[in-house]
């Protein structure tokens, strides 16, 4: 009896092929829209302060929305870093490419308090089974009279698959950075 149980279990393990885990990184900056040339040579610093993710996004797994109420983290399709780090890196490089005379930095010890800081809350950053990528949330510039700005972007996938989803999510991040670059102005 024990021999049959052992053979049955070993057959189960052998019938499942090894899983191939894929890791993804957001695409590099694509076609930045440079800010208008300015006569000022003053360089400002923008502190990319807080990036807050909805709880379901605080994972290294890419998330898919299956229907109107069901979200599922992918089992074998992961971000290279945790999503918070992926987004911080993507936002920093995209904003830097769009904002003339602005150095975009992360919080770090010893950094002087800056009146130019940006807080971003991400409520949605996932794929949808209907074939599109979603990014939504809110951003706020501290030290500015600009009220909090909501955003929501959806981009259809160019083709099926996780690589297309990651590229569409990267495009949504491009759109967010375009919005921020058009509306944000440094405090003197």
Q: What is the mean pLDDT of the chain?
A: 86
Give the C-alpha separation, 159 to 136, whole Å.
22
Reference 122, options 50, 53, 26; nearest CA is 53
Domain residue spans in the chain?
43-183
Neighbours of 60 (CB within 10 A): 15
HEC string of 86-121 equals HHHHHHHHHHHHHCCCEEEECCCCCCCCCCCEEEEE
Better-scored residue on pLDDT, 38 or 156: 156
The answer to whether residue 160 scores a pLDDT higher than 50 is: yes
Give the C-alpha separation, 141 to 48, whole Å.
10
CA angle 133, 139, 143 (to 5 degrees): 165
The answer to whether residue 34 scores a pLDDT higher than 70 is: no
**pLDDT tens for each residue of 105-145:** 998 877 766 668 999 999 999 999 999 999 999 999 987 77
- Of 18-32, 57-71, 144-158, the range with the lowest mean pLDDT is 18-32
**How far from each other are the two terminal CA atoms of the chain, in whole angstroms?**
80
Taking the model in full, what pTM does it have?
Answer: 0.83
> What pLDDT, on a 0 to 100 scale, did the predictor assign at position 65?
97
The answer to whether residue 4 scores a pLDDT higher than 80 is: no
Q: CATH homologous superfamily for 43-183?
A: ABC-type transport auxiliary lipoprotein component (3.40.50.10610)
Give the C-alpha separation, 83 to 101, whole Å.
28
Read off the pLDDT of each residue in 16-29 and give the average, rounded to a whole number.
85
Contact 24, 76 (CB under 8 A): no
Q: Where are the alpha helices (DSSP H) in the chain?
A: 2-15, 83-98, 162-183
Structure-derived torsion over alpha carbons of residues 82, 85, 90, 93, reported in degrees to the nearest 10: -150
Length of the chain in residues, anyone?
188
Positive or negative: CA dihedral 81, 84, 87, 88: negative
**pLDDT tens for each residue of 74-106:** 999 999 999 999 999 999 999 999 998 889 999
Better-scored residue on pLDDT, 38 or 148: 148
């Amino acid at each position: 009896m024990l021999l049959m149980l052992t053979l049955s279990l070993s057959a189960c393990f052998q019938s499942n092929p090894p899983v191939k885990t894929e890791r993804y990184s957001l695409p590099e900056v694509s076609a930045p829209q440079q800010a208008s040339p300015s006569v000022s040579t003053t360089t400002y610093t923008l502190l990319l302060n807080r990036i807050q993710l909805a709880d379901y996004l605080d994972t290294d797994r890419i998330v898919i929305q299956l229907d109107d109420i069901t979200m599922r983290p992918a089992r074998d399709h992961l971000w290279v870093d945790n999503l918070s780090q992926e987004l911080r890196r993507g936002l920093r490089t995209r904003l830097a490419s769009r904002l003339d005379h602005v150095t975009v930095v992360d919080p770090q010890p010893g950094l002087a308090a800056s009146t130019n800081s940006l807080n971003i809350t991400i409520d949605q950053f996932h794929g949808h089974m209907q074939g599109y990528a979603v990014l939504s949330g809110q951003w706020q510039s501290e030290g500015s009279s600009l009220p909090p700005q909501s955003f929501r972007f959806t981009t259809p996938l160019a083709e099926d698959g996780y690589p297309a989803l990651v590229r569409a999510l990267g495009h949504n991040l491009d759109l967010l950075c375009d919005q921020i670059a058009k509306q944000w102005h440094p405090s003197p």
